[in-house]
Amino acid sequence: MDTQPEFILMLNEWLAPAVETAKLWLLSPAAWSQFALLIVAFMAARLLSLRARPVLERFITPPEGKTGALVTARHFASRLLPLLLPLFAWGLTAMGEEITRSLFGSGAVIAFGKRVFLFIAARIFVREVLRDGFLRLLGRYVLIPVAALYALGILDEISLRLEETIIALGNIRFSVMALIRGVIVGSLLFWLGSWSNRQSADYIKKQEELRPATRELAVKATEVMIFGAAFLLLMSIMGIDLTAVAVLGGALGVGIGLGLQQIAANFVSGIILLLEGQTTVGDYVELDGGEKGTIVKMTARACILETFDGKWIVVPNDHFVTSRVVNYSDQGSANRYEAEFSVSYDTDINKVPEIIEAAVAALPFVLTEPDGPDCELRGFGESSVDFAVEYWVNGIDDGKNRFGSPVLFAIWNALKDNGIEMPFPQRVVHIRNATPEANVA
């Protein structure tokens, strides 16, 4: 006789009692009466759910156009209504089991029916209630199989076998059941942590009374606390001694000191930036390395700059701490710029400042506070007299085209309207000795 695999032998060992029990139930009049009670409980549960569901729908369904946490909770509660039938059936069956055991001393069949109703409730919960893709996946491959094993009455035996199977990794020992429990609970914990982190981040970012740097710091601190608590709780659920985690943390600290010091420096620099608030999201900055743009995001490792042409530059946080940074402040602050131009030497240069200042002041984006346009004589060049006009605007001239081009147009038109020439470089060439014509042979 061929030797069967161990798994087949274990499966036969688990199924054999179930087969014997099924034969016993089919031949027992007491079991038939319990089957009849199950049918009655199901019909009664169906009638109760048909009567209760319309009433609950009217009570739970929120008014149209309303928003808020309570409305969201009521929408979620409305998705639970398909569970009414199996839960009513489970409750009625539980009462029937108590009555049957008190009268006849046996209620195995009706107890089996109660577990089957829970299995049906689990299937409905996964198929009709859960909307998140990860939770539906977890329900399909974890909750429903566990409910099926529980309905068959072999869940406790399988759990015991898995608890007895030990895995050893050095000084750390845990059972297969602890590993499975850790994977399932860990997945749920980190999904819940991710969801909580998103909700808390959205709430914190809506607090307009806080500075942007404070909001970012609060978001990062909340994220660290949520996932740190999830990790420690997972270690406790898996039964891993936290002293082993402390040893692992010490080794990780050595690794950070040796190989990950740059990452650690960027992380600490990011915290310093958020605490000081001198550089935050929305600021237009220019670094020593030439990188410049608006800070659109600050992460634990780097800041992301968006240039005027839409490119993103990832700059490590320690560059903002260890190098010189020019901060042009945010888009709502006043900044001063200048535009250079030249006129010919034939011009009455005493009239130029008044003409140019009036032309630039007429532009709608040029401010009068903290100072109006100021035209200054800069020097006498080889072919021209050099001027520059300084002006203040509310914002940043990212790319030197937002404000600079209209100002130069205004200068050109003002000079042309007043007959002032803008010269171009000229050179005079003197030929001192003419080249004699070549003799023709």
Q: Same domain for 63 and 152?
A: yes
Q: Same domain for 99 and 41?
A: yes
- Is the distance from CB of 390 to CB of 337 less than 8 angstroms? yes
User: Alpha carbon of 391 to those of 44, 180, 331: distances in Å?
Assistant: 84, 68, 17
| pLDDT at site 143 | 85
Q: Same domain for 320 and 285?
A: yes
Span 268-325, pLDDT tens digits: 787 777 777 677 787 888 888 777 888 888 877 788 888 877 788 888 888 888 888 8
Q: Same domain for 206 and 297?
A: no
- CA dist., res. 245 & res. 160, Å (int): 27
More confident position, 79 or 32: 79
> Which of 259, 292, 312 is the C-terminal boundary of a domain?
259
> Which of 131, 164, 197 is the C-terminal boundary of a domain?
164
- CA dist., res. 30 & res. 286, Å (int): 86
| pLDDT at site 412 | 93
What is the domain range of residue 228?
175-259
Task: Provide the domain count of the chain.
Answer: 4
Q: What count of other Cβ atoms lies within 10 Å of the Cβ of residue 286?
A: 15
Question: How much of the chain, in percent, has pLDDT values that exceed 70?
Answer: 76
In a domain, 434, yes or no: no
Q: Same domain for 68 and 124?
A: yes
Measuring CA to CA, which residue among 404, 393, 398 is closest to residue 335? Answer: 393
Q: What count of other Cβ atoms lies within 10 Å of the Cβ of residue 173?
A: 13
Q: Same domain for 211 and 121?
A: no
Q: Same domain for 224 and 351?
A: no
**Residues, the chain, total?**
441
**pTM tops 0.75, yes or no:** no
Q: Same domain for 112 and 242?
A: no
